[in-house]
Structure 1
Amino acid sequence: MTQQSRRPFPTREAREPSRRTVVRGSLGVGAAALGAPLLSACGGGPAADPKTVTFGSNGADATPEKAYAAVTGAFTEDSGLKVKTNTVDHDTFQKSISTYLQGTPDDVFTWFAGYRMQYFAKKKLAHPIDDVWEKIGSGFSDAAKQLSKGEDGKYYFVPLYNYPWAVFYRKSVFKQRGYEVPRTWSEFTALAKKMKKDGLSPIASGYGGGDSWSILGAFDYLNLRANGYDFHMDLMRGEVAWTDRRTTKTLDLWRELSGFYQQGAGGRSWQDAAQSLLDKESGMAVIGLFLGQQITDEKLRADIDFFPFPEVDPTHGQEAVEAPTDGFMLSRKPKNLKGATKLLAYLGGAEAENLYMGVDPSNVAVNSRADTGKYNALQKKSADLIASAKHITQFGDRDSDPGFISTVVLPGFTQWLGHPDDGAALLKKIESQRSRFFTA
């Protein structure tokens, strides 16, 4: 049977775990400030049980925890290997990840595709898994394969699910008010003005406390739509100046958008903002599909819909979609390499994805062989949106140096959103710190 191991952490009320929490410090430094790492291995010493695989999970919220238990339980039944799970909330997991990986981590651990995976692969804190991909590779697209490779061309990551960011709304509100789904920026802002006139908060927003990461979705889409995928990725990777006139254009658009945010957004959590959409107090929300984790009433779920973030420049249209991809990595010196490899091969298969998505309908499977027949309408539409994208981005803190985002960009953005001006001073301040995190 799958074993659940819990470390003594602060109460859930005290730590307020969020669905996608950004690292609150450089991956190389932030965890060290915690002293003894709160995220610790449950694998034991050199004489680790060869019939047990240890698994470090960031899925502490009820739904993902239950989904992971279903998957690891099925693996145990199939393989005869026990899975000892060390479950830690998202925030603590990410703050402690560097210290954790440099110590005696669990054999397999949850993490993110793309730049965030490549960081640890480059630091030799993860074990390559090309042998796993020889078994699972036929089930994944070229895009998924690319997201799973390190800079050395080797595989280090097994995808499980992804989820799109878009503009969510309630169908009944649009029908009752006679609102039309916008496609362009002018249509979008005209709709927001109409909602405001009708007494709604046009755009649900909450970025208080540890939820400042949530504002990156709007920034990313504005930059992608105004300046295109190539410029956005160059900016994220530190290859162009933040004082570039194109970034200034993005902040000009964001200043216009911020005029439609809920009052008091800086003191509200993303969950509270999302709830205002569900309660019909707000008309729209720029958010990820994980919004669905707050919904237990299937009638309510059926009333939720979304549309792609609107077009700003026809040159770039709506060709890019933010679809963060979550999955698994292998620690650099796993205690049970053979068992861990078996677990990763199972996790990368359609069966595991079917089990996970059967419990957690706020995501969509990455494996092309996964069964989509039981997807709800939001999952089906999400899968179609991702499949139709010309470019897929992860998310601001996943496509860039997380320390740069968490200690420079996010504090600047949140302060600026409180009193948005022309943005020149903000961009100059961000640019002054770029060289600390990116080298030529």
Structure 2
Amino acid sequence: MVATRSGRFEIDRRTLLRTGGLGAVSLAGVGLLAACSGGTAGGGSGGGGGSLTFGSNASDAVPKKAYAAFVSAFEKKSKDTVSTNVSDHNSFQDKITNYLQGSPDDAFTWFAGYRMQYIAKKGLVGDVSDVWSKIGSNYSDALKKASTGEDGKQYFVPNYNYPWGFFYRKSFWQSNGWEVPGTFDELVALCKKMKAKGIIPIEFTDKDLWPACGTFDYLNMRINGYQFHVDLCAHKESWNSSQVKEVFDTWKELLPYYDPSAAGLTWQEGAQKLGNKQAGMMLLGSFITQQFTDASVLNDIDFFPFPEVKVEGTDAVEAPIDGLMLSKKGAQNQAAKDMLQFMGTGAGQEAYYSVDKSNIMTAKDADTSGYSAFTKKLSGVIADAKSISQFFDRDALPAMASNVLEPAMLNFLKSGTVNLANIESQAKTLYSQQ
């Protein structure tokens, strides 16, 4: 968790981030690769010797290697053969519908929650309820719910999740006498101190559009509560309301403390500024740590939840869930089902985590004895949360996220203004079409 987003569902976007396997290939060619690489329906029997194709959006270096490690562990255990097709993260999300309606791979990386439910409702993916009958006891009820479609069937197997919050360098803060803010007012006061020293207080990047959703979600949940967030995403609440106006009015107080180049920067570029002490902090998912390849920098990174603002303190946390799904074709391939079943085990998730330690394993039997104090802290934030959101462009109608809110937020970042009446008008149109 990124990077990219969304939607335009053709949609989609998000984030973040990962990719698993062997070289990158344009999404336009994924269907052809899948058709030619040997993953045929019914290609496995559960006893090994089967084959499947795996479409991965994990194009960044760390998650790409991590999924390669997972695939390797599965092949060793099952004796099946996996052909991995890696696509650019953003392109994969943006063209997911075309991909699934063409010649998709048997298994592919995706997200839990609404994003999963959307393509499941369209009949574009395979039911994996039979896989869940074998791995269900290894997951919490909340994770099963996040993997379940509107029809009550399961379509997704979680790999990991990751919290969003503010990341910073401990030594940099200690040398300047900066303390972790517990409230929004304290956050603004800290930003003023950083800016006075010529430091970018909050590294903010929005070239990919989706990063701004994290700030919006947190302010919305902190000001209006988690349930309002859920209802707004479902358009049960109006965008042209005093509650949403208060979110943007509060957000406006942070704009003077953002990186002036935010609109043209990727999250990876922003992470480098944080690592180089050009910025004081950055709001992002824990996948940000993938960018810190220097151990001295990585060991210097710390984290704090989005501060308290108004109603629910820090009870809600953004912690998106990433994992695997099957295409309609893949649902007929036993080898593909076996790979998803392997993802639902501690051994499968440990293979991934052995390379990418920026996320939190979700299987109950995963060995967490090797978690660092930092990872335990991240895990604790999720465990202690009363409510967990999936991130706006995963909780809401995809077209609403990518075609309406993300462009509106980018304009807000540039101008400090937002047309809520126009957003509400577009929301009415989009949701009425569902």
Alignment counterpart, residue 262 of structure 1, candidates 259, 264, 276? 259
| One-letter identity of the residue aligned with 1:42 | A
The 5-angstrom pairing of residues 221-260 of structure 1 reads 221-260=218-257
1:417 maps to 2:416: no
Partner of 2:4: 21
Quickly say closer, same or farther: Cα 1:49–1:133, change in 2 above 3 A: closer
Deviation at 1:25, TM superposition (A): 1.4
Distance 1:188 1:91 in 2: 32
Q: Deviations over 1:53-79 (max 9, x none)?
A: 211111122211111111111111111
TM-score by length of 1: 0.90
- Per the alignment, in what secondary structure is the counterpart of residue 354 of structure 2? helix
Quickly say closer, same or farther: Cα 1:151–1:174, change in 2 above 3 A: same
> After TM superposition, where is structure 1 displaced by more than 6 Å over at least 4 residues in a row?
45-48
Partner of 2:34: 42
Partner of 1:356: 352
Asked if 1 retains the 8 angstrom alpha-carbon contact of 2:405 and 2:423, the reply is yes
Asked if 1 retains the 8 angstrom alpha-carbon contact of 2:128 and 2:331, the reply is no
Quickly say closer, same or farther: Cα 1:36–1:106, change in 2 above 3 A: closer
Partner of 1:370: 366
- Per the alignment, in what secondary structure is the counterpart of residue 384 of structure 1? helix
The 5-angstrom pairing of residues 18-417 of structure 1 reads 19-27=2-10, 37-40=28-31, 41-44=33-36, 49-50=43-44, 51-208=50-207, 211-313=208-310, 315-334=311-330, 336-417=332-413
| One-letter identity of the residue aligned with 1:239 | K
Quickly say closer, same or farther: Cα 1:80–1:36, change in 2 above 3 A: closer
Partner of 1:5: none
Deviation at 1:416, TM superposition (A): 1.7
Deviation at 1:246, TM superposition (A): 0.2
Distance 1:223 1:317 in 2: 12
Q: Deviations over 1:252-292 (max 9, x none)?
A: 01100112111222122222222111111111111111111
Deviation at 1:26, TM superposition (A): 2.4
Q: Which ranges of structure 2 fall in alignment gaps of 5 or more residues? A: 14-25, 45-49
| One-letter identity of the residue aligned with 1:429 | N
Asked if 2 retains the 8 angstrom alpha-carbon contact of 1:70 and 1:355, the reply is yes
Asked if 2 retains the 8 angstrom alpha-carbon contact of 1:166 and 1:307, the reply is yes
Q: Which ranges of structure 1 fall in alignment gaps of 5 or more residues? A: 1-17
Deviation at 1:172, TM superposition (A): 0.7
Asked if 2 retains the 8 angstrom alpha-carbon contact of 1:242 and 1:428, the reply is yes
Asked if 2 retains the 8 angstrom alpha-carbon contact of 1:54 and 1:106, the reply is yes
| One-letter identity of the residue aligned with 1:341 | K
1:434 maps to 2:430: no
| One-letter identity of the residue aligned with 2:250 | L
Asked if 1 retains the 8 angstrom alpha-carbon contact of 2:11 and 2:93, the reply is no
Q: Deviations over 1:119-158 (max 9, x none)?
A: 0111111111111111111111111111000011111100
Q: Deviations over 1:171-223 (max 9, x none)?
A: 11111111111111111111111111122111001212xx2111111111000
- Per the alignment, in what secondary structure is the counterpart of residue 253 of structure 2? helix
Quickly say closer, same or farther: Cα 1:368–1:29, change in 2 above 3 A: closer
Q: CA-atom RMSD, angstroms?
A: 2.0
Quickly say closer, same or farther: Cα 1:47–1:285, change in 2 above 3 A: closer
Asked if 2 retains the 8 angstrom alpha-carbon contact of 1:113 and 1:327, the reply is yes
Distance 1:396 1:233 in 2: 9
TM-score by length of 2: 0.91
Q: Determine what percentage of the aligned residue pairs are the same residue.
A: 46
| One-letter identity of the residue aligned with 1:350 | G
Distance 2:425 2:244 in 1: 15
Asked if 2 retains the 8 angstrom alpha-carbon contact of 1:28 and 1:98, the reply is yes
Asked if 1 retains the 8 angstrom alpha-carbon contact of 2:170 and 2:300, the reply is yes
Distance 2:427 2:254 in 1: 26
- Per the alignment, in what secondary structure is the counterpart of residue 259 of structure 1? helix
- Per the alignment, in what secondary structure is the counterpart of residue 54 of structure 2? strand
Asked if 1 retains the 8 angstrom alpha-carbon contact of 2:9 and 2:97, the reply is no
- Per the alignment, in what secondary structure is the counterpart of residue 433 of structure 1? helix
| One-letter identity of the residue aligned with 1:25 | R
Quickly say closer, same or farther: Cα 1:285–1:389, change in 2 above 3 A: same
Deviation at 1:29, TM superposition (A): 10
Asked if 2 retains the 8 angstrom alpha-carbon contact of 1:63 and 1:360, the reply is yes
Asked if 2 retains the 8 angstrom alpha-carbon contact of 1:43 and 1:107, the reply is no
| One-letter identity of the residue aligned with 2:211 | S
| One-letter identity of the residue aligned with 1:243 | N
- Per the alignment, in what secondary structure is the counterpart of residue 302 of structure 2? strand
Distance 2:182 2:6 in 1: 33
| One-letter identity of the residue aligned with 2:101 | Q
Quickly say closer, same or farther: Cα 1:60–1:237, change in 2 above 3 A: same
Distance 1:163 1:134 in 2: 25
| One-letter identity of the residue aligned with 2:400 | F
Distance 1:382 1:185 in 2: 21
Deviation at 1:328, TM superposition (A): 0.6
Distance 2:67 2:12 in 1: 29
Deviation at 1:391, TM superposition (A): 0.5
- Per the alignment, in what secondary structure is the counterpart of residue 324 of structure 2? strand
Distance 2:409 2:53 in 1: 39
Quickly say closer, same or farther: Cα 1:301–1:36, change in 2 above 3 A: closer
- Per the alignment, in what secondary structure is the counterpart of residue 308 of structure 2? coil
Deviation at 1:367, TM superposition (A): 1.1
